[in-house]
Amino acid sequence: MAVKDYIDTNDFTKEELLDMIELANSMKAMIKQGNRYPRLLENKTLGMIFQQVSTRTRISFETAMTDLGGHAQFYGPGTIQLGGHESIEDSARVMGTLCDILMARVDRHKDVAALAKYSPCPVINGMSEFNHPTQEMGDLLTMIENLPEGKKIEDCKLAFIGDATQVCASLMFIASKMGMDFVQFGPKGHQITDGGLQVDTDVDLLAIGLKNCETSGGTITISDDISCIEGADFIYTDVWYGLYDQEEEGASYMDVFYPKYQVTMDMMNYAGPNSKFMHCLPATRGEEVVDEVIDNPERSLCWEEADNRKHSIRAILAYLFLQQQAGKQVDEAAADAAQARMEAVLAKIG
Ligand code: CP
């Protein structure tokens, strides 16, 4: 049965995820090369719930809806009733009827999961403390567009440097799903395996990745020894202080990560002479990455990666909505009769 919501890429098969990538890639080419906008969500409304700030995710969703002929509504912190006087379940039932599709960036993963469970329309996870699945698809699209010569995605090695953020966990999920070699090079206490990522869900992150590897043939390595990044095609990092309530004091996180886990040109070249740099952004220049790397036009993919948020989100929106519509019957006779009744009233008043 088709998956209604996009909460976690682990809910989808490799083939389904690659279908979304092909949809993203084809629509990107149609728009960039021919100025052709596929109006697949004409007259449809996306409700966007943000409990946290956002630049790339918010703008990508809103622009993608415009591109597809639809409209997006923004609900910032404190602007709608969600989990206070009105339960999340009741809000989901109402919002999922008023909108055609919902997305939510939430403080707690269980809240976006509850929205999906009770909403009649599809729900997309715009990031939680557990994962960032729309970032995963933008990153996968970027890697596929920048494959080393002669390699397929499953031949590639992706090394994440630093703290086990939700982006790190998400990259492990998508890399293991694709059959890639995934590495986290990070200090003990901040590794996926040792509780570095405190999630509000009872899950074993590594077990999910290893299960994906059983099907895909991928591998997962987690280490504080830099030799683990040798041969990496893609070097990826994220901020060192995490998000939400995991934030640490400045001095403390610099002591933990600096200088060993800062991405420098020496680190890039140690991985390989053609390794590419990626970052979900926003970056803290001078901490997890230096200017020489992030601004390097030959090695840095992060601006292309930010643009690909929009292209991949456009595909996720279209994929989920059209898949849900596929099973619905259209009753043209009933619609004709309703239109005739409407026109009769309009004739009477006008
Ligand atoms: N990478 C990312 O999600 O960026 P925003 O927080 O700006 O949306």
At 135, which helix (H) or strand (E)? Answer: helix 133-145
Distances (CA, A) of 53 to 58, 59, 136: 9, 11, 19
Q: How far apart are the first and last CA of the chain?
A: 49
Model pLDDT, residue 84: 75
The residue whose CA has the least distance to atom 1 of ligand 1 is 280
Q: Which amino acid is at 72?
A: A
Residue with tokens 């397929």: 152
At 184, is the secondary structure helix, strand, or coil?
strand
**Reported pTM:** 0.95
Residue with tokens 């041969």: 231
Model pLDDT, residue 158: 99
Distances (CA, A) of 313 to 33, 118, 230: 19, 22, 32
In a mutational test of the pocket of ligand 1, which residue from 141, 281, 308 has the highest number of ligand atoms less than 8 Å from its CB? Answer: 281
In a mutational test of the pocket of ligand 1, which residue from 305, 309, 310 has the highest number of ligand atoms less than 8 Å from its CB? Answer: 309
156 in Cβ contact with 147 (< 8 Å): yes
How far, in Å, CA of 89 to CA of 85, rounded? 12
41 in Cβ contact with 152 (< 8 Å): no
At 17, is the secondary structure helix, strand, or coil?
helix
Structure tokens at 70: 């639809």
* Ligand 1 atom at minimal distance to the Cα of residue 55: 7
Instruction: Extract the residue ranges of the chain whose pLDDT is less than 50.
Output: 243-246
Model pLDDT, residue 253: 85
* Ligand 1 centroid – CA 70 distance (Å): 22
* Ligand 1 centroid – CA 248 distance (Å): 20
Residue with tokens 């999920």: 173
Residue with tokens 């799903």: 177
Structure tokens at 54: 């956002």
Catalytic residue flag (residue 73): no
10 in Cβ contact with 324 (< 8 Å): no
* Ligand 1 atom at minimal distance to the Cα of residue 60: 8
Distances (CA, A) of 124 to 42, 72, 106, 276: 19, 13, 11, 29
By residue count, the chain amounts to 350
With left for phi above 0 and alpha for psi between -120 and 50, is residue 238 left, alpha or beta?
Answer: beta
**Burial (Cβ within 10 Å: 0-12, 13-18, ≥19) of residue 268:** buried
Model pLDDT, residue 196: 53
Model pLDDT, residue 249: 53
Model pLDDT, residue 245: 44
How far, in Å, CA of 159 to CA of 224, rounded? 12
95 in Cβ contact with 66 (< 8 Å): no
**Burial (Cβ within 10 Å: 0-12, 13-18, ≥19) of residue 341:** exposed
Catalytic residue flag (residue 93): no
Model pLDDT, residue 303: 98
Is the omega angle on the peptide bond into residue 259 within 30 degrees of 0, that is, cis? yes
Residue 205: partners with Cβ closer than 8 Å, 6 or more residues away = 169, 172, 192, 193, 197, 199
* Ligand 1 centroid – CA 183 distance (Å): 22
